[in-house]
């Protein structure tokens, strides 16, 4: 078995520490460049995804409620709940876009 003296341990620890520091610095630079370059694209993709999920959730939820009511109470309210789901989805998308535009306006005012 190889014995490592105290000087070798200290040197090895310093070497590993410096390698980790260099790696972290390079990774941070790459991360900052990629976020600066692709940040707006990622924001727009997340906005489109949120809009789709908001619209689909409200429509499908109201459709399910309408179908459940039709099945259990023998009524014809499916179309009414479908229209309510579409209207609710439009309202949710409108408020989502409105909030995002307000946040961008606040960020623009802060930058000035």
Predicted confidence (pLDDT) at residue 1 exceeds the cutoff of 60: no
Residue with the bigger pLDDT between 12 and 109: it is 109
pLDDT digits (tens, 9 = 90+) for 69-104: 999 999 999 999 999 999 999 999 999 999 988 988
Residue 70 contacts residue 76 (beta carbons within 8 Å):
yes
pLDDT digits (tens, 9 = 90+) for 22-36: 777 777 666 565 666
Q: What is the 3-state secondary structure (H, E, C) of 56-112?
A: HHHHHHHHHHHHHHHHHHCCCCHHHHHHHHHHHHHHHHHHHHHHHHHHHHHHHHHHC
């Amino acid at each position: 078995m190889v014995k490592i003296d105290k000087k070798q341990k200290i040197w090895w620890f310093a070497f590993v520490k410096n390698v980790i520091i260099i790696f972290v610095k390079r990774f941070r630079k790459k991360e900052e460049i990629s976020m600066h370059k692709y940040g707006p694209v990622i924001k727009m993709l997340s906005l489109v995804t949120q809009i789709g999920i908001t619209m689909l959730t409200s429509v499908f939820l109201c459709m399910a409620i309408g179908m459940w009511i039709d099945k259990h109470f023998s009524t014809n309210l499916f179309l009414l709940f479908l229209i309510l789901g579409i209207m609710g989805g439009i309202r949710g998308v409108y408020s989502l876009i409105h909030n995002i535009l307000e946040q961008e306006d606040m960020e623009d005012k802060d930058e000035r």
